[in-house]
């Protein structure tokens, strides 16, 4: 199988990786780098559990080849907290009871993360539309939507 060397900055650290042309980004993240916070729920781009940020945008790691991420800046759920300080999104998901089984949570948070970066003051409809890419079977979505709105408010306050 043909292999290729790629560079990827994952959560602030550069990784020198050897991948095959078929390797999916999700497998490289999980199996090679060991970042299993990014989850696979369907492998077909339907459930959003593998949502990560790539150059600041929310992408599905199961639909992307690792070679496509050559040179990219990748942020996964493991890259959000600062030491033991949680990111406002992580805190809001806890305080708003937006987490149940937790399997969709990393994808939801990363979708919210990219959204707030593009739109620091999203309204409820915008958040609902954004999270529509992320399936959740436990919570019924109400709490995750509230959590993203709350985190956005928190982040705006911090910037001020």
Cα dihedral sign, 66-53-11-139? negative
Binding footprint of other proteins on the chain (CB under 8 A): 1, 30-31, 35-44, 46-47, 49, 76-78, 80-81, 86, 90, 93-95, 97, 99-106, 109, 127-129, 131-145
- Residue 113 C-beta: closest distance to other proteins, Å: 12
- DSSP secondary structure letters along 57-95: EEEETTSSBGGGGTTEEEE-GGGSSBTTBPPHHHHHHHH
- Residue 99 C-beta: closest distance to other proteins, Å: 5
Residue placing its CB nearer to other proteins in the complex, 72 or 77? 77
Beta bridge partners of 14: 9
Q: Compute CA 19 distance to the chain's CA centroid, rounded to the nearest angstrom.
A: 22
Residue placing its CB nearer to other proteins in the complex, 46 or 123? 46
Residue placing its CB nearer to other proteins in the complex, 57 or 137? 137
């Amino acid at each position: 199988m043909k292999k290729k060397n790629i560079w990827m900055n994952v959560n602030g650290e550069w990784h020198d990786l050897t991948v095959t042309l078929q390797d999916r980004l999700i497998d490289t993240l999980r199996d090679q780098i060991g970042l299993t916070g990014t989850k696979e729920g369907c492998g077909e781009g339907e459930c959003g559990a593998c949502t990560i940020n790539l150059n600041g945008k929310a992408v599905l790691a199961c639909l992307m080849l690792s070679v496509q991420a050559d040179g990219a800046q990748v942020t996964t759920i493991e890259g959000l907290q600062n030491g033991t300080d949680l990111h406002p999104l992580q805190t809001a998901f806890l305080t708003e009871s937006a987490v149940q089984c937790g399997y969709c949570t990393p994808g939801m948070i990363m979708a919210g993360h990219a959204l707030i970066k593009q739109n620091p003051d999203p309204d409820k409809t915008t958040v609902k539309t954004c999270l529509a890419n992320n399936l959740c079977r436990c919570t019924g979505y109400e709490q995750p939507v509230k959590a993203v709105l709350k985190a956005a408010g928190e982040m705006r306050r911090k910037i001020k």
